[in-house]
């Protein structure tokens, strides 16, 4: 863990170790007035960094979305726990974020990434997790995209479909898309679609 002279980690307790790790931190930090805070106790869900990519076909002007079951959305009474998302996955070994985006696009959507453009990177929920996400738009050929994908050993059951970008923007406005990577990627594409199409259609 990187050291910061403005933060003192007094103790870390392992509360749970599974796919993710739950830690309890005892720490204090420098205040804006220069003094030190009291000792704080915070539970942090620790997980590997991840990458997400919105596959986009600039010729068809279509995006590729996926739908899958998410247990964290069991209380989503309006639409149920099957969420509309974009391709995403965590790092495996020495992969780069670009490697992850390309690998996961094939595994989850059956789409080969031809070009990548990085949109941003951000902490997903830093109040309770150290999860860090790299977000991309990926150029694909969406002409034959569809079907069910995912790795059997990971119990993935992922429906993939291609939809016109304008229709995806309407789905976003209607509140049908509820995950931050998909929301941010679609909003970015809505703002930058024309120059991105010009960039990629010359390749």
Separation CA 116–CA 105 (nearest Å): 12
First to last CA, the chain: 42
C-alpha Rg value of the chain to the nearest Å: 19
Lowest mean pLDDT among 77-86, 115-124, 138-147, 191-200: 77-86
Separation CA 6–CA 152 (nearest Å): 46
pLDDT band (50, 70, 90) for residue 75: confident
- What pLDDT shows up at residue 2? 56
- Catalytic one among 153, 154, 174, 194? 154
pTM attached to this predicted model: 0.91
Average pLDDT over residues 58-66: 95
Active site residue 154: yes
Between 79 and 174, residue with greater pLDDT: 174
Give yes or no for residue 149 having a pLDDT over 80: yes
Q: Where does CATH 3.90.79.10 sit in the chain?
A: 50-201
Task: Give one word for 155, left, alpha or beta, with left for phi > 0 and alpha for psi -120 to 50.
Answer: left
Homologous superfamily of the 50-201 domain (CATH): Nucleoside Triphosphate Pyrophosphohydrolase (3.90.79.10)
For the chain, the maximum distance between any two Cα atoms, rounded to a whole number of angstroms, is 60
pLDDT band (50, 70, 90) for residue 91: confident
Separation CA 25–CA 14 (nearest Å): 9
């Amino acid at each position: 863990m990187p050291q910061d002279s403005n933060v003192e980690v007094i103790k870390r307790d392992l509360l749970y170790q599974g796919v993710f790790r739950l830690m309890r931190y005892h720490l204090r930090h420098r205040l804006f007035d220069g003094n030190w805070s009291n000792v704080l106790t915070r539970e942090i869900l620790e997980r590997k960094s991840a990458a997400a990519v919105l596959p986009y076909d600039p010729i068809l002007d279509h995006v590729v979305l996926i739908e899958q079951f998410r247990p964290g959305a069991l209380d989503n009474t309006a639409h149920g726990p099957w969420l509309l998302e974009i391709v995403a996955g965590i790092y495996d070994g020495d992969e780069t974020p670009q490697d992850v985006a390309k690998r996961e696009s094939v595994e989850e959507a059956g789409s080969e990434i031809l070009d990548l453009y990085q949109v941003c990177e951000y902490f997903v929920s830093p109040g309770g997790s150290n999860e860090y996400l790299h977000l991309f738009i990926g150029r694909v050929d969406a002409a034959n995209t569809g079907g069910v994908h995912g790795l059997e050993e990971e119990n993935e059951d992922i429906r993939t479909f291609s939809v016109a970008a304008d229709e995806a923007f309407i789905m976003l406005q209607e509140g049908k898309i509820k995950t931050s990577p998909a929301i941010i990627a679609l909003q970015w594409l809505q703002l930058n679609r024309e120059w991105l199409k010009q960039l990629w259609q010359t390749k």
